[in-house]
Copies of this chain bind each other. A is one copy, B any other.
Amino acid sequence: MGTLRVPDVVPSPTQDSERLRKAFQGWGTDEKAIIWVLGHRTASQRRKIRDTYQQLYNESLIDRLQSELSGDFRKAVILWTLDPPERDANLAREALKSKRKGVDHLKVIVEMACAASPHHLMAVRQAYCSLYDCSLEEDITSNVTPPVRKLLVGLVSSYRYDREVVEEIVAKSEASKLRDAIERKQLDDDDLVWILSTRNVFQLRATFERYRETYGNPIDEHIKRCGTGNLESILRIVVWCIGSPEKHFAEVVRASIVGFGTDEDSLTRAIVTRAEIDMVKIKEEYFKVNKTTLDYAVIDDTSGDYKDFLITLLGEKM
């Protein structure tokens, strides 16, 4: 369940576009109005607002937001206003073109392949091709080095079956294949990559459970013991995103605000991508682990319009 709040009576896309246009005009921008409109609309309503705005004013709403807003607030509002597949194609491209070391920035690609619906992943791949003149797989191959490359290409190529079909016999035999690869410290093993990128998530959860029962520890613990390399890090994110996306995203939020400074990009990504999906569960998980509410943590660590926008998506009344 998401935390997005939509009013009982939703204004028409024309009324919303007019309100946004008014917010942009005159001296200074009315950020509150922008939050008020866009922060309370579903993806398909936002899509209609974008289309209507374009027709009415012959101007792209995204471009206008780009020129009116700034900083983390601008980034969050624009990501939120894009179609979800287009948004994730953007995030994937940014991650792939980033000069950052390590693989932490690549987790967004794991999230779209393992913690979103198979249909969404297909739509992201289509959006990626439309936007960037090449496929997502091609860009992964040119920008990521092995062995992480092999895993990511496998994951984004998948179209998992999306209903709950679990076979105990598969869980047993594939838990043993995973164990075998982990014991050999061969984390880019063909079988392992195929299993994690192809099986439906319900099957994989049963396989992970069977793994824990048979080998005494959760699979992510055993992956951790293989080493601290990039492949180990990414594989543990794969296991979390499949096994329990809410735990993964609660951890993304926690990690983004812990210590000095805030990793706004990660915080924005977690909230913008999950507000319509499972933010209620993410908040519960966050509270369980951190003994404080996620809302409070966000309020404490952010400020201004950026804070107001995130809190709106988290379902708080402003």
Which residues of A line the B interface, CB within 8 A? 118-119, 122, 125-126, 129, 133-138, 141, 150, 153, 157-163, 165, 190, 194, 198-200
Contacts of A157 in B (CB 8 A): 157-159
Contacts of A136 in B (CB 8 A): 159
Query: Would you call A159 and B198 a contact (CB within 8 A)?
Result: no
Query: Would you call B161 and A138 a contact (CB within 8 A)?
Result: yes
Q: Could you tell me the distance between the alpha carbons of A161 and B161 in the complex, rounded to whole angstroms?
A: 24
Q: Could you tell me the distance between the alpha carbons of A162 and B128 in the complex, rounded to whole angstroms?
A: 12
Contacts of A153 in B (CB 8 A): 194
Query: Would you call B159 and A135 a contact (CB within 8 A)?
Result: yes
Distance between A109 CB and nearest chain B CB, rounded to angstroms: 15
Query: Would you call B137 and A198 a contact (CB within 8 A)?
Result: yes
Q: Which 10 A-B pairs have the closest CB atoms?
A: A157-B157, A125-B159, A135-B161, A129-B161, A137-B198, A134-B161, A122-B122, A133-B165, A135-B159, A138-B198
Distance between A139 CB and nearest chain B CB, rounded to angstroms: 10
Contacts of A137 in B (CB 8 A): 158-159, 198
Q: With contacts A137-B158, A138-B161 known, what are 7 further pairs, Cβ within 8 A?
A: A133-B165, A134-B161, A135-B159, A135-B160, A136-B159, A150-B190, A157-B157
19 A/B residue pairs, CB under 8 Å, sorted by A: A118-B129, A122-B126, A125-B159, A129-B159, A129-B161, A129-B162, A133-B163, A134-B161, A134-B165, A135-B200, A136-B159, A137-B158, A137-B159, A138-B161, A138-B198, A138-B199, A141-B198, A157-B158, A157-B159
Contacts of A158 in B (CB 8 A): 135, 137, 157
Distance between A93 CB and nearest chain B CB, rounded to angstroms: 14
Q: Could you tell me the distance between the alpha carbons of A135 and B160 in the complex, rounded to whole angstroms?
A: 6
Contacts of A125 in B (CB 8 A): 159
| Closest B residue to A162 using CB positions | B129
Question: Which of A125, A141, A157 gathers most chain B CB within 10 Å?
Answer: A157
Contacts of A141 in B (CB 8 A): 194, 198
Contacts of A129 in B (CB 8 A): 118, 159, 161-162
Distance between A290 CB and nearest chain B CB, rounded to angstroms: 37
Query: Would you call B199 and A159 a contact (CB within 8 A)?
Result: no
Q: Could you tell me the distance between the alpha carbons of A126 and B158 in the complex, rounded to whole angstroms?
A: 11
Contacts of A122 in B (CB 8 A): 122, 126, 159
Q: Could you tell me the distance between the alpha carbons of A119 and B157 in the complex, rounded to whole angstroms?
A: 14
Q: Could you tell me the distance between the alpha carbons of A165 and B138 in the complex, rounded to whole angstroms?
A: 13
Contacts of A165 in B (CB 8 A): 133-134
Contacts of A163 in B (CB 8 A): 133
Q: Could you tell me the distance between the alpha carbons of A73 and B158 in the complex, rounded to whole angstroms?
A: 36
Q: Could you tell me the distance between the alpha carbons of A134 and B202 in the complex, rounded to whole angstroms?
A: 12
Q: Could you tell me the distance between the alpha carbons of A138 and B162 in the complex, rounded to whole angstroms?
A: 13
Distance between A140 CB and nearest chain B CB, rounded to angstroms: 10
Contacts of A126 in B (CB 8 A): 119, 122, 159
Contacts of A194 in B (CB 8 A): 141, 153
| Closest B residue to A191 using CB positions | B141
Q: Could you tell me the distance between the alpha carbons of A119 and B135 in the complex, rounded to whole angstroms?
A: 13
